[in-house]
Structure 1
Amino acid sequence: MNLSAYQTELDWITSQQQAMLHATSELALINSGSMNVQGIERVGDRLLQYSAPLDAEQKRIDLPPLEEINDRGELHNRSVGAAIRLRKHPQAERQILLCGHMDTVFAPDSPFQELTWLDANRLNGPGVTDMKGGLVIMIHALIALERSALAGKLGWTLIFNPDEEIGSPCSDILITDAAKHAQLGLVFEPALPDGSFAGERKGSGNFTLVMRGRAAHAGRDIGSGRNAIRALCDFISALDNLNGQREGVTINPARFNGGGPLNQVPDLAVARFNVRTRKKEDEHWIQQQLNALSAEINARDGLSLRIHGGFSRPPKQLTPAAHELAALLAECGSALDIPVHWSATGGCCDGNNIAAQGIPVIDTLGAEGGCIHSSEEFLIVDSLNRRARLTALLLFSLAEGQLDYQLWPQLTSR
């Protein structure tokens, strides 16, 4: 691959290292934990400012509310905030979808709110790697494309969503619809801890259990009560015992609420769990197990169990088209002397849902770092420049048609 045609734009990215670091730091200092709508809106405002040089169509899109079960077992709605969509060159023959999320796992009351330099090339802070650094990388790579002579040869849609860390329950419709009008997807989740890219990903589902029993006086009439906590513990124990029974399927009971006064038999308990799957058919197996376990509980006198939720992230498996896209990225990495390696992961992201629409996707083009989802999260600072140049070269290559045209199916055929 001859870099001379792209050198001006690649050099421009190199010159933007401090600006990229500054933007990442600004974003990380704005708390945008999932459900912190005000903070997410502030991050969106900054992203629109950073994206202004793209001169793209910009639109804030209100999302449907999140339906969730509260700790009283009641269904209620909450706002997750708005998504932002940028579009340019909709008439271009080649169309791609780029995605990044504005939310983090750190709530407004989290003690982890500051930036700390660990050494000259590692910055500790909330969301610096997952994925505020990735947002900045994506924007700068696109600006480099639009500064080049290739501008207009590649149409693109960019979506910033506010709810990825809770499974994109409200933005998934927006993202999957955009994927139906694209020929490939690029997502800017962070690199895996060793710097590699995610290949296959497990699928995921989130579930809530609501167990109702019968209250009674714990001293005078305990025999007429039906203890919802005990019954739900029985269910969760049986559920956890499913681990190891099917290859690649894992179940994580994660949260439990219930009970009240110590002299009252509890009549309500709520629990939440996550399931990871390796194949699509694993979802059917899990549903069969849940049906059998719940039937046993519901057959007991005075007890009622309801299961809410389901699978929102299908497993991502590598297709021939995905291998072609990966090979092109490796070629770009070789030209820039940037190693490109691939690993399977149990984690999931919006890339799972994009791949499920039948298009290839690379979903770890974001920053390098480690310890994400913890107060030890850190960014490898020089990866901002490195990953932006790699993404830009991939965009240049796509715009020039260097990918096998068999990868670009007619959009009308889907």
Structure 2
Amino acid sequence: MRVMFGVLAGLAVVASSAQAAPSQPESVMIATIDAEQARTLKLLETMVNQNSGSRNSDGVRKVRDIVIPEFAALGFAARWIPMEQTGRAGHLVLTHKGRKDAKKLLLIGHLDTVFEPDSPFQRFVLEGDKAKGPGVGDDKGGIAVIVAALRAMQAAGTLKGANIEVFLTGDEEEAGHPVKVARADLVAAAKAAHVALDFEGLSREDGKDMGSIARRSSQSWTLTVDAESGHSSGVWSERAGDGAIYAAARMVTALRDELPEPYLTLNVGLIAGGAEAEVGDDNAHVSASGKTNIIAGKAVARGDLRTLSPEQNAAAMRKMEAIVARKFPGVTSARIEFSEGYPPMAPTDGNKALLARLNAVNATLGLPQMQPLDPMKRGAGDISFVAAHIDGLVGLGPHSTGDHSPAEMVDVPSLWTQAKRAALLMSRLAAEKALASR
């Protein structure tokens, strides 16, 4: 896998680094984004000041109501997909119809944040070239970039013929269940489009902007071990065995020793064992009870598996199942179960080609070429659900730090840079004819 990513990384920056002057419409887009900086920042402030934690359905709908007029003014039709059946508010889909033969672009972002109404972190604060606030980068900053880029396209006349669908989920930070239902509409949108552009945050390394063409999966697993119990004086005997805790520890150790390979990680986040043990209904707690003189009859553990491709993910699950199926002294049953999780977004040739297109835009803007980000440095996200169906890029939102914490802060100038990149890239892609209907 490392060889595969290394080859693609080397090919992903083939676009010329020589600056090409922007076309007249591109110059208009650049000037519009600069002229509307105050407007864009005010929109971001308004969104940030409305709490929209994933479980705050009313707050997510209020951000929806802030966003819809911005897109309606640009000729987008709004559709709300309720998701109460998954325990979440819903998704906002905004559609602009252009030429029938033009490529259809799918823009992905999200309305929700990790900060629920009881969080003390609730307000937008501007501090020079930095702005703090819940979701200021992830992902209300991404929505602000989308709006700024589309307004620039309208001013330049490149939006008129563009086929664009903006899909803003209401539960990216904590997906509703079942996940298959929660993401079915996003997958359907991807199958009808030609390119996916994800507006979560821009990654930087050593001060340099990076391109993201891959994301690893995120899949939870639960291990349950049952064993013979009894008085501790009989432990290690052929009759009683070792108990569930020893067995679970050996299984977890075997996972650590035998699974490692490039781009694969496996974390054990929770573990408990005793005479009795169980996982809480929220899957975030484990509990156990017993005594020191009782051989542990049960053990449970939970963790996550992250991989770079569907093939790597499937192979890892098979290996984990085989390890758990081995014979361990005193074990009467053992099983490992996997959640739906977030699938991987592999670094495909199509994604690499899109980064080359973005680097052509960088050349026009006089910006450095963007190298591919190591997927080990990026978590899972909504675009992963559509990666098997469509070419895509990640990280078209602004650069931020401290995401998911009260220190979340966005680099304000990166809003303008990312909006310019997005406007030019989308205009160029939207001007192309679709080679085949989806």
- Would the alpha carbon gap of residues 19 and 226 (structure 1) be closer, same or farther in structure 2, given more than 3 Å must change? farther
Size of the aligned set, in residue pairs, is 391
CA distance in 2, matches of 1:8, 1:205: 41
Is 1:30 aligned with 2:69? Answer: no
2:96 maps to what in 1?
Answer: 88
1:243 Cα deviation after fit: 5.0
Task: Summarize deviations over 1:138-192 as a string: whole Å, max 9, x none.
Answer: 1221232234423332111110002223468344322221111111111101100
TM-score by length of 1: 0.81
Is 1:314 aligned with 2:329? Answer: no
1:310 Cα deviation after fit: 4.3
- Aligned pairs for 1:116-127 within 5 A: 116-117=125-126, 119-127=127-135
Report the secondary structure of 1:86's partner residue: strand
**Could you tell me which of 39, 48, 58 is aligned with 2:78?**
58
CA contact (8 A) 1:213 1:226 kept: no
Q: List runs of 5+ in structure 1 lacking aligned partners.
A: 67-78
2:354 maps to what in 1?
Answer: 325
CA contact (8 A) 1:193 1:370 kept: no
2:287 maps to what in 1?
Answer: 259
What percentage of aligned pairs have identical amino acids? 24
Report the secondary structure of 1:395's partner residue: helix
Is 1:277 aligned with 2:307? Answer: yes
1:409 maps to what in 2?
Answer: 435
CA distance in 2, matches of 1:150, 1:394: 11
1:367 Cα deviation after fit: 0.5
Is 1:241 aligned with 2:257? Answer: yes
1:111 Cα deviation after fit: 4.0
TM-score by length of 2: 0.77
- Would the alpha carbon gap of residues 39 and 277 (structure 1) be closer, same or farther in structure 2, given more than 3 Å must change? same
1:7 maps to what in 2?
Answer: 27
Is 1:367 aligned with 2:367? Answer: no
Report the secondary structure of 1:252's partner residue: strand
- Aligned pairs for 1:282-361 within 5 A: 282-296=312-326, 300-310=330-340, 312-319=342-349, 321-342=350-371, 343-346=373-376, 347=378, 348-357=380-389, 359-361=390-392
2:3 maps to what in 1?
Answer: none
**RMSD, aligned CA:** 3.3
2:114 maps to what in 1?
Answer: 105
**Could you tell me which of 187, 191, 197 is aligned with 2:198?**
187
CA contact (8 A) 1:167 1:349 kept: no
- Would the alpha carbon gap of residues 101 and 221 (structure 1) be closer, same or farther in structure 2, given more than 3 Å must change? farther
Is 1:378 aligned with 2:409? Answer: yes
CA distance in 2, matches of 1:28, 1:233: 45
2:188 maps to what in 1?
Answer: 177
Task: Summarize deviations over 1:50-92 as a string: whole Å, max 9, x none.
Answer: 32312321111123744xxxxxxxxxxxx12200111121653
1:213 Cα deviation after fit: 4.3
CA distance in 2, matches of 1:47, 1:221: 66
**Could you tell me which of 130, 133, 136 is aligned with 1:128?**
136
**Could you tell me which of 21, 41, 50 is aligned with 1:21?**
41
Task: Summarize deviations over 1:76-129 as a string: whole Å, max 9, x none.
Answer: xxx122001111216531211111012223344444334445x41122322211
Instruction: Return the letter of the residue paired with 1:127.
Output: G
Instruction: Return the letter of the residue paired with 2:382.
Output: D
CA distance in 1, matches of 2:330, 2:340: 25
CA contact (8 A) 1:355 1:361 kept: yes
CA distance in 1, matches of 2:231, 2:116: 38
CA distance in 1, matches of 2:360, 2:253: 49
